Amino acid sequence: MVRSALPATLVAALACLVACGRDRSAHVQPLPKPDGSPALRGGGPARSPRIANYKIDARLDAATHQITASQTLTWTNAGTTPVDTLPFHLYLNAFKNESTLFMRSWHSIEREAPTENWGWIKVDQVSLAGADLTAKWTAGADESVAELALPAPIEPGGTVKLDLKFTAQLPEVFARTGYKGEFHLVGQWFPKIGVRVGPAGAETWECRPFHAFSEFFADFGVYDVSLTVPSTYVVAATGVLVSATESPGGTRTLTYRAEDVHDFVWMADPYMEVISGQAKVEDGTVEVRVLARPEQADFARRHLDAAVGAIQQFSAWFVPYPWPIMTIVDPPMDAVGGAGGMEYPTLVTTSGDSVFARPGLRLPEYVTVHEVGHNWFQGILASNEPVEAWLDEGVNEWADGKVMNELYGARTSAIDWMGWQAEVAALRRAFVTDPGALPSPIASAAFSFVDGRTYGEATYAKTAAALATLEEYVGPSKFAEAMKAYAQAWAFKHPTGKDLFETLQTKLGQDLTWFFGPVWQSVGGIELGIRTAECKDAHAPRGVFGDGPNKKLVTAVEAPDTGSYVCEVVVTNTGTVHVPVDLELRYADDSTERVRWDDKGHGSWERFVIERSTPLVEVWIDPDNKLALASPISHRHRIDGNGAASLRAAAWVASVAHTLMQAVGP
């Protein structure tokens, strides 16, 4: 998910502008044709263990924004111990009132919360093999979770088939789901079973109350979902459309199938139009669809081009996209604040459309690349986001920058407009908090961060910076091979951070615990600085040497200046992360040389002494800007005289301007 949004007042104003003059009368839409393709590209065997499988029949009341549904869950106990209780997520209850954990934690994200038109979900009936278990269904202290006590344990390898009936009330669009006018984004809308995690014999349930910072974690399975909607609505959904039939009362029923996914989302809107293209991957093609309202048609084309390019790059660099269709929904401008920039398997929502997003200002493209990228790190790998959000969001953020550079140029991936150019990673580095100043380490559970800003910057930006720093240390080509090995080894297996670290160390052939520990488990970053930098005239040693009859005084006459200079530079790193760093030294004759400080856990300072024919005039730490984890201050210092005055004064004055110029240059 992209955690940014235009101010609500600006969104409303833009929505008014773009919607002006639209014919608001909804017309019956042509009955869509089935996709005619298997749910997995090329068919073939299951990619995942398919532990949680759902069959859902749902009906949307577009006037009340309410869904009534029946659901059959077929769940397999893949663990080694019996299970006598099944926990479920009821995500929509997070939007039921201001007392929920989600609403109480939402204030620190700095987004508006609903004041009316709340959302909720109610399980009306639960049965097992014809026996009514509704009385065994118990809501938790926070109503976003519930559990069902079973009449008999499910033994290891055993399967249970539960039938549920439920009613879901969508909120006015908010935090990834809901409605705005006639637009409906239906996400996290059904009772969803938790995941058993942990070593064999000690498995536990992962099914936490919904927190404002946490997203989703679920088992893979097969979804067969029938949606009955008004005939005036265009629908997009996870998976492939397998049948479409007209129903009584001006409605139609659309049936979708999705395989080896861990969620199902759908969109319904009377005004959406569809454009499509083809992404080429190593073993075939993927149909890419963008749905947008007519007034956003120009942006729809930009989103389509970005999505096609992203699928091709992610497929080449990690694993091929396994499903036949990728759908991008561009929400209406008045709904984008709550519905834009969110990932689900085979369907994502994008954002960034505005009168200010001129061609070359690539926020719309970036959001699409980011959300499409989640279909690898969240859709295929599917790590535990409430506990290790960085393993999806941060790894994806790192990869997004590389994809943007590949598609739009290394210097122009974020901005190429009116003579201004900027690269994604440099722009991010310029405008986020110093990574060393964040009060929580990366490897914090999402719900444990002090506030939304810390969560976002540690989980997204600092993780991306950490991976970029490691990439530079080991070499981009080796790192790319290791990351590809990780994706291929752990696809559809719910990897942990430990799995990523072990894969990287194995493929790179070196112990990297000196890096992983401080970066992920500690607060702080790379805090580089110049302690001293000065030059003195070079000469042979002067003073009293020897003793007794051999005692000799050597004066400046006996040891005159040689005409060269002895220069001393002391570089420091007062942060918690220590990696090798280059220094570039420039001399008065405009010659330069590089020295390398192997600060890989070997101390917090180093002294370099160099004798040259001309004095040192400038020291530049990390001249190639390789250390993305470094504090975003000026590391380039001009030396005047003995250097003390400039080192004290110029460093701070230059810091802001230098950082910005690194990100945005003419």
Is 170 among the domain residues? Answer: yes
Please tell me the predicted confidence (pLDDT) of residue 266. Answer: 98
CATH number at residue 45: 2.60.40.1730
Is 426 among the domain residues? Answer: no
3-state secondary structure 398-458: HHHHHHHHHHHCCCCCCEEECCEEECHHHHHHHHCCCHHHCCCCCCCCHHHCCCHHHHHHH
Please tell me the predicted confidence (pLDDT) of residue 107. Answer: 74
Please tell me the predicted confidence (pLDDT) of residue 110. Answer: 52
Please tell me the predicted confidence (pLDDT) of residue 600. Answer: 75
Alpha-carbon distance values, 515 to 522, 577, 599 (Å): 11, 7, 11
Report the distance separating Cα 423 and Cα 151, nearest Å. 59
Please tell me the predicted confidence (pLDDT) of residue 637. Answer: 86
pLDDT digits (tens, 9 = 90+) for 423-443: 898 888 888 888 889 999 999
Q: Give the angle 657-658-659 at the CA atoms, nearest 5°.
A: 95
Report the distance separating Cα 278 and Cα 286, nearest Å. 6
The pair of three-digit structure tokens given for residue 60, joined into one six-digit string = 């949307």
Helices (H) and strands (E) in the chain, counts: 13, 35
Q: In one letter, which amino acid is 472?
A: E
pTM metric for this prediction: 0.90
Closest CA to 237 of 190, 167, 284: 190
Please tell me the predicted confidence (pLDDT) of residue 215. Answer: 93
Q: How many independent structural domains does the chain possess?
A: 2
Please tell me the predicted confidence (pLDDT) of residue 111. Answer: 56
Is 150 among the domain residues? Answer: yes
Residues with Cβ within 8 Å of 123's Cβ and at least 6 positions away in sequence, in order, are 90, 134, 137, 146, 164, 165, 166, 191
Which residue, of 269, 299, 316, is where some domain finishes?
Answer: 269
CATH number at residue 578: 2.60.40
Successive 10-residue mean pLDDT values, the chain, 666 residues: 46 42 72 96 92 98 98 97 98 95 80 78 97 96 97 97 98 94 97 96 96 96 98 98 94 98 98 98 95 97 98 98 98 94 97 94 97 98 97 98 96 92 86 88 95 94 96 96 98 98 98 96 93 94 94 94 95 92 95 90 85 94 89 79 44 43 42
Tell me which residue has tokens 């009293």.
544
Is 317 among the domain residues? Answer: no
Cβ atoms 180, 173 nearer than 8 A: yes
The pair of three-digit structure tokens given for residue 416, joined into one six-digit string = 């190429």
Is 369 among the domain residues? Answer: no
Q: Which residues sit opposite 169 in a β-bridge?
A: 66, 120
Is 111 among the domain residues? Answer: yes
Report the distance separating Cα 30 and Cα 464, nearest Å. 45
Alpha-carbon distance values, 233 to 299, 307, 333, 356, 386 (Å): 22, 24, 18, 30, 34
pLDDT digits (tens, 9 = 90+) for 40-85: 998 889 999 999 999 999 999 999 999 999 999 999 999 999 999 9
Query: What is the residue range of 134's domain?
Result: 29-269
Q: Give the angle 67-189-389 at the CA atoms, nearest 5°.
A: 165
Is 560 among the domain residues? Answer: yes
Alpha-carbon distance values, 534 to 503, 586, 592, 621 (Å): 45, 13, 16, 16
Q: State how beta strands 83-89 and 178-180 pair.
A: unpaired
Is 651 among the domain residues? Answer: yes
Please tell me the predicted confidence (pLDDT) of residue 109. Answer: 60
Which residue, of 269, 297, 332, is where some domain finishes?
Answer: 269
Which residue, of 220, 240, 269, is where some domain finishes?
Answer: 269
